[in-house]
């Protein structure tokens, strides 16, 4: 998570139960790369969104973000769009694991949703707090095994290290 200890970004607001079919419909799952799929992200709900998201933006959503399928393209695409972090009231289990394994930062917080509007800027200090217009929202820290994967730069890099691949 180097270079990510503290950052500021513009937010996009999504609701509860943003499922994996909304994040990336199955129709596009056989496209060759995550980059090919990214323009279709969130298309059933907000077809314009993928084109508007800019590097460094942040998603703020309700409960059960990423529910549904095991498709790992979901976090990969969110990352590919330039989203630096997703804040939600809660995350679905498989999405959570997939995000950690791909180095996409997720923050569970159920208070900020009522206080922010789309387009606002917020500042995140890793493992400390979220700041919005002077208000601070504390962040719970992650278990050590997940921090290890994140620190390695994701599961692929962690496995490369295990397998003594050069350059790791």
Could you list the residues that contact other proteins (CB under 8 A)? Answer: 17, 19-22, 25-27, 29-32, 43-45, 63-64, 67-73, 90-94, 97-98, 101-102, 143, 145, 154-156, 159-160, 162-165
Minimum CB separation of residue 8 from other proteins in Å reads 29
Q: Which two tokens stand for residue 167?
A: 């350059």
Minimum CB separation of residue 17 from other proteins in Å reads 5
Nearer to other proteins, 108 or 131 (CB): 108
Nearer to other proteins, 29 or 126 (CB): 29
Nearer to other proteins, 12 or 132 (CB): 12
Nearer to other proteins, 34 or 122 (CB): 34
Please tell me what DSSP assigns to residue 115. T
Please tell me what DSSP assigns to residue 124. E
The H or E element spanning position 123 is: strand 121-125
Minimum CB separation of residue 72 from other proteins in Å reads 3
Sheet holding 121-125, edge to edge: 105-108, 85-88, 58-61, 6-13, 121-125, 129-132, 135-138
From residue 55, how far is each of 8, 10, 36, 136, 146 by CA, in Å? 11, 10, 17, 24, 24
Minimum CB separation of residue 147 from other proteins in Å reads 12
The position carrying tokens 């278990």 is 143
């Amino acid at each position: 998570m180097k270079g990510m200890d503290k950052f500021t970004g513009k937010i996009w607001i999504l609701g509860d139960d943003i499922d994996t079919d909304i994040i990336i419909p199955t129709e596009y799952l056989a496209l060759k790369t995550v980059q090919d799929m990214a323009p279709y992200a969130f298309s059933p709900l907000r077809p314009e969104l993928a084109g508007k998201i800019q590097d460094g933006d942040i998603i703020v959503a309700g409960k059960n973000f990423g529910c549904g399928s095991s498709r790992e393209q979901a976090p990969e695409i969110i990352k590919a769009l330039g989203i630096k972090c997703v804040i939600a009231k809660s995350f679905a289990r498989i999405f959570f694991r997939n995000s950690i394994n791909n180095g996409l930062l997720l923050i569970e917080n159920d208070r900020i949703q009522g206080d922010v509007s789309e387009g606002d800027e917020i500042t995140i200090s890793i493992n400390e707090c979220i700041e919005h217009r002077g208000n601070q929202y504390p962040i719970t820290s992650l278990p050590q095994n997940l921090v290890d994967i994140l620190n390695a730069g994701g599961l692929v890099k962690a496995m490369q290290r295990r397998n003594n691949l050069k350059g790791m």
